[in-house]
Amino acid sequence: MATATQAPTSPAAASGRGSVLPLLRGRPSTRVRLAVGRRPQTALRAQPPGAAEVVEQSVNTIRFLAVDAVEKAKSGHPGLPMGCAPLGHVLFDEFLRFNPKNPYWFDRDRFILSAGHGCMLQYALLHLAGYDSVTMDDLKAFRQWGSRTPGHPENFETPGVEVTTGPLGQGFANAVGLALAEKHLAARFNKPDLKIVDHHTYVILGDGCQMEGVSNEASSLAGHWGLGKLIAFYDDNHISIDGSAGIAFTEDALARYEALGWHTIWVKNGNTGYDDIRAAIKEAKAVKDKPTLIKVTTTIGYGSPNKANTYSVHGSALGTKEVEATKNNLSWHHEPFHVPDEVKRHWSHHIDEGASLEAEWNKKIVEYEKKYRQEAAELKSIISGELPSGWDNSLPKYTPENPADATRNLSQQCLNALAKAIPGFLGGSADLATSNMTLLKMFGDFQKDTPEERNIRFGVREHAMGAISNGIALHSPGLIPYCATFFVFTDYMRAAIRLSALCGSRVIFVMTHDSIGLGEDGPTHQPVEQLFSLRAMPNILMLRPADGNETSGAYKIAVLNRQRPSVLALSRQKLQQLKGTSAEGVAKGGYIISDNSSGNKPDIILIGTGSELEIVEKAADELRKDGKTVRVVSLVCWELFEEQSEKYKESVFPSEVTSRISVEAGVTFGWEKYIGEKGKAIGVDRFGSSAPAGKIYKELGLTVENVIATAKSL
């Protein structure tokens, strides 16, 4: 690995910045090493005479806004913003296409800070660029309660932040999803005479992101898909929290990315090599058939005389003395949070420029609507998130006369119905499409040369699949991605699911083989604790449908919930189409499917989910033959049930009725909320076993006979 350049003792050590030189000619090679002094390509925005001094002022403004915010908060990560300030300035000021007064303009470039701990870099850039979401007061409230400048970037807190980052590598994988969405929509909607989807995705990642496995999975897919408008900047500063990255990370990242199908560039001097940064970005934009990784060697904490290039500047405030020393070193003689007038004037052009960029695009979309009405209507649905009229009527309906079937098969019927009805519906599986039953039969595969198709082949990459799906969902309100694997492997992708819930991305997680009912594959593949663990996660819907109508209902709910993801746990084994189930009942989370009592006073309440609802209903029939009044409740989604009124919940679970039994092929932990102190929970408080499903159910007591015996014991 290269050795990071140390911070100079004065800013005068850098020279030749801000010039505009001719474009490099010829097709870029796969691997390019850029050295300081190489003639750069022209930036997107030409630099006027005297710009070098303004650039230097601007870069130091970014550095010290970060330093001052961290110092005031007495916590944070100043090192990355100090080192990446030159890159941040060049990218935002000279290349990035955006409208600060409309952060959600559709055809904007997307920027993601995967190394989210360095978020003051992004906040400073958004502030300088004129975003209303990051005022000076917001910068001064960094990391404080209720501020729009939290300790890691959050898309739901700060307009201008595209995705929520923090867990390393996740933001990078989100960027792959954003770039996938752009390539897919461009292939579907661009015309020879009108290119209306045309933007880049830029992402900054650090050594930590490189070490996390999710980034390698996502990089592999990005190379395979040929995401030419994805440009990643690797902040090569050699420092992690424990010290030098070399204690655990010595690989040649550029060689790895070449092997993954990426174009690679190395900017050896990211501290003062402005021209080289410009040249690298221009070159990356010229590469159309593969993503680009630009390794930018920087000094973490650049300018700090005593802490630069050390782990102590990674995640701690500099301290009063070192702040003063750094200001002297960089000739920054200003009060905290100062933005020089010349820097304000320089950055002010983005407001008019951004409005102009959007206005030009709006003119094109008007022309597009006149020429291509059907495509325009579909694109409008994707951009706005407005669902087509009657979309939910496409979902299949079932009666008890329909044959028994696994809910994974019923799910495929729903997926294909929704893909026909909703233009932005797309997705795939982690190499299990024929087991998860997730193929969209009327579409081909999204591949490098067929990006218009809607079946996404993720391969065995559960970590990246979830994070990429988050990026797709956050690209446009009307894109609705689904992704699939076996339910037990939600453990592999839990970080992505959690971030999906946190940032409110509408991803549908299609999880099949939902219990011990999958049988012979054994306990490694049989989920038992996953149901409750996901019920414990905020802002997510955990749905376990019991038959066709509940599966349709679950998909309707998943599509309608724009601000939270849904997990559908689906069976491998065939289940009966039950009398009394309904999509409308699913919308309430829990509802009565059968009851022979009156006055809301049954003798006993039996509660089931998924494949066990059939067992519960059969047990209820037998108990009724003995003269018992029995209510059967399907509690398909706890979260939705808890959102109902107290009156409704009392109508389902009357407080006077304490004889209650829950039956679910998962851990019993948590069921006491619904069965009360006097109720009984029948479940699986151990790992499963390798055997036919029927045998496992019998041995573990998930039988009609055991439900009846338990009921009689109450």
The pLDDT of residue 31 is above 90? no
Catalytic entry in 94, 217, 358, 462: 462
H-state helical runs in 372-491: 373-384, 407-421, 433-436, 462-475
Query: Would you tell me the crossing angle of helices 349-371 and 373-384 to the nearest 10 degrees?
Result: 140
Burial (CB < 10 A; 0-12, 13-18, 19+), residue 680, is middle
Give φ, ψ of 434 to 5 degrees.
-80, -15
In this prediction, residue 42 carries a pLDDT of 38
pLDDT in tens, 538-587: 999 999 999 999 999 999 999 999 999 999 999 999 999 999 999 999 99
Known binding positions for thiamine diphosphate: 117, 166-168, 208, 237, 314, 489
pLDDT average, residue stretch 3-16: 32
Strands 591-595, 630-634: pairing is antiparallel
SS3 374: helix
Residue type, 9: T
What share of the chain in percent tops pLDDT 90? 93
pLDDT average, residue stretch 345-372: 97
Q: 276 is written with which tokens?
A: 């080289």
Residue type, 557: I
pLDDT average, residue stretch 380-408: 97
What share of the chain in percent tops pLDDT 70? 93
Chain center to CA of 205: 16
Instruction: For the domain covering 391-569, report its CATH number.
Output: 3.40.50.970
Strands 480-486, 508-512: pairing is parallel
Known binding positions: 77, 117, 166-168, 207-208, 237, 239, 314, 408, 435, 489, 513, 521, 525, 572
pLDDT in tens, 668-691: 999 999 999 999 999 999 999 999
pLDDT average, residue stretch 14-43: 31
CB 199 within 8 A of CB 182: yes
Residue type, 73: A
Class of domain 69-353 as given by CATH: alpha beta
The pLDDT of residue 40 is above 70? no
Read off the pTM: 0.92
In this prediction, residue 482 carries a pLDDT of 98
Q: 678 is written with which tokens?
A: 């006097």
Chain center to CA of 458: 15
In this prediction, residue 17 carries a pLDDT of 27
The pLDDT of residue 38 is above 50? no
Map tokens 């997107």 to a residue.
44
- Buried b / exposed e across 179-218, counting CB within 10 Å, b at 16+? bbbbbbbbebbbeeeeebbebbbbbbbbbbbbbbebbbbb
Q: How many CB atoms within 10 Å of residue 677?
A: 6
**DSSP string for 187-225:** HHH-BTTB------EEEEEEHHHHHSHHHHHHHHHHHHH
Handedness of CA 338, 343, 345, 350 (dihedral sign): negative
- Parse the chain into domains and list their residue ranges: 69-353, 391-569, 591-713
Averaged confidence pLDDT in the chain = 93
The pLDDT of residue 294 is above 70? yes
pLDDT average, residue stretch 236-257: 95
In this prediction, residue 51 carries a pLDDT of 80
Strands 243-244, 239-240: pairing is antiparallel
The pLDDT of residue 183 is above 70? yes
pLDDT in tens, 436-449: 999 999 999 999 99
Instruction: With cut-offs at 50, 70 and 90, classify the pLDDT of residue 21.
Output: very low
Options 3.30.450.70, 3.30.70.1230, 3.40.50.920, 3.20.10.10; CATH for 591-713 is 3.40.50.920
629 or 36: which leads in pLDDT: 629
In this prediction, residue 46 carries a pLDDT of 54
pLDDT average, residue stretch 40-51: 51
pLDDT average, residue stretch 96-122: 98
- Can you name the residues that pair with 76 across neighbouring β-strands? none
Closest CA to 525 of 499, 497, 492, 500: 492
Longest Cα separation, the chain: 94
The pLDDT of residue 4 is above 80? no
Strands 243-244, 445-446: pairing is unpaired
In this prediction, residue 45 carries a pLDDT of 56
CB 99 within 8 A of CB 354: yes
The pLDDT of residue 76 is above 50? yes
Instruction: With cut-offs at 50, 70 and 90, classify the pLDDT of residue 3.
Output: very low
**Is 462 one of the annotated active-site residues of the chain?**
yes
The pLDDT of residue 618 is above 90? yes
Map tokens 């060049």 to a residue.
90
pLDDT average, residue stretch 130-154: 98
Cα 481 to Cα 499: distance, rounded to the nearest angstrom: 15
pLDDT in tens, 296-338: 999 999 999 999 999 999 999 999 999 999 999 999 999 999 9
The mean-pLDDT minimum among 38-42, 147-151, 314-318, 674-678 falls in 38-42
Rounded to 5°, the CA angle 58-122-296 comes to: 75
pLDDT average, residue stretch 218-244: 96
Domains 391-569 and 591-713 share a fold: yes
Q: Which helix (H) or strand (E) is 206 found in, with range?
A: strand 201-206
